Amino acid sequence: MIQFLQQMINGLSLGSIYALIALGYTMVYGIIKLINFAHGDIYMLGAFTAFYATTFFHLNFFVALIIAMLLCGVLGVLIERIAYKPLRHATRITALITAMGVSYVLEYTMQYFAGSDVKTFPTDLLENTAFSLGGVRITMMQIYIFVITIILMVLLTYIVNKTKMGRAMRAVSVDEDAAKLMGINVDTTISFTFFLGSCLAGVAGVLVGVYYNSINPLMGMTPGLKAFIAAVFGGIGNIPGAMIGGLFIGIAETLVTAYGSSLYKDAIVYVILILVLILKPDGLLGKNVKEKV
């Protein structure tokens, strides 16, 4: 039982990070029905921003986190304006291919400037004292991940449900043309959605980089796909669903590694995706919406 509880703690740590990335996927899809495959590389850029801020400029963790968050948010807006806005009314496959192209541009541009070597954060960046509760070991880094994730999720929920911009986001997701008639600036709303989602991905990148102390220019590919699967599992376009999906994927991956083999930790995620698409294509909290032809 102690080992199971320990793996649950580890799974919640990993799942919290997947949830942060999945929220960006699900918000963008909910607004403009675009699967932004470049989102995982925004996560990678967040990790590198914090790495350079802490290594070369000797900033502390929280300052580096805020800088990475804001820089990734601005980059997300720029990508939307340059790559996605001109294709907003194009076919979905066109936008999807463009998103994949943007992903490769980000990956190999970073590889060109930063090199392909694995980089590590300063070891004294954060205190990582471990606590033992009934035999279950919890580190300060895991506590940081839990607390930061919960704060950001509560803040996001407040923005979406209680603010004027949040109401605009919900209106645009339901009917873009009707939102325009109601005086909502659709372009600003979509850009703000990309900003929020990219900020969350940047934070996830920083947390992963510090937690595993290993980053590289291609680090966003696999977590990005897993976060997308988490969004599909929870019901893509549904914010609570993305949170639940991220936590579920993280726990499932950790349990498979602990009780099976690390060789299967990636495979189980794709098995979950196949089962969801077969049994409940709309996801756990998704709704079956009929489209007019």
pLDDT, one tens digit per residue, over 182-218 is 899 999 999 999 999 999 999 999 999 988 888 999 9
Q: Which of 13-22, 115-124, 178-187, 282-291 has the lowest mean pLDDT?
A: 282-291
Token digits of residue 254: 């950790």
Strands 136-139 vs 130-133: parallel, antiparallel or unpaired: antiparallel
SS3 content of the chain, % helix, strand, coil (to 5): 75, 5, 20
Classify residue 129: in a domain, yes or no.
Answer: no
pLDDT, the chain, mean: 88
Q: Which of 96-100, 125-129, 172-176, 182-186 has the lowest mean pLDDT?
A: 125-129
Domain extent for 55: 2-115+139-279
Give the chain's domain count: 1
Q: What is the pLDDT of residue 293?
A: 45
Classify residue 133: in a domain, yes or no.
Answer: no
Of residues 126 and 16, the one with the higher pLDDT is: 16
Classify residue 77: in a domain, yes or no.
Answer: yes
For the stretch 28-59, pLDDT in tens is 888 888 888 889 999 999 999 999 999 999 89
- Ramachandran area for residue 129 (φ above 0: left; ψ -120 to 50: alpha; else beta): beta
Classify residue 43: in a domain, yes or no.
Answer: yes
Of residues 102 and 262, the one with the higher pLDDT is: 102
Q: What is the pLDDT of residue 192?
A: 94
- Give the CA distances from residue 73 to residues 43, 46, 112, 196, in Å, rounded to whole numbers and listed in that order: 11, 10, 22, 6
Q: What is the CATH number of the domain that holds 210?
A: 1.10.3470
Q: Return d(Cα 153, Cα 73) in angstroms, integer.
A: 16
Classify residue 223: in a domain, yes or no.
Answer: yes
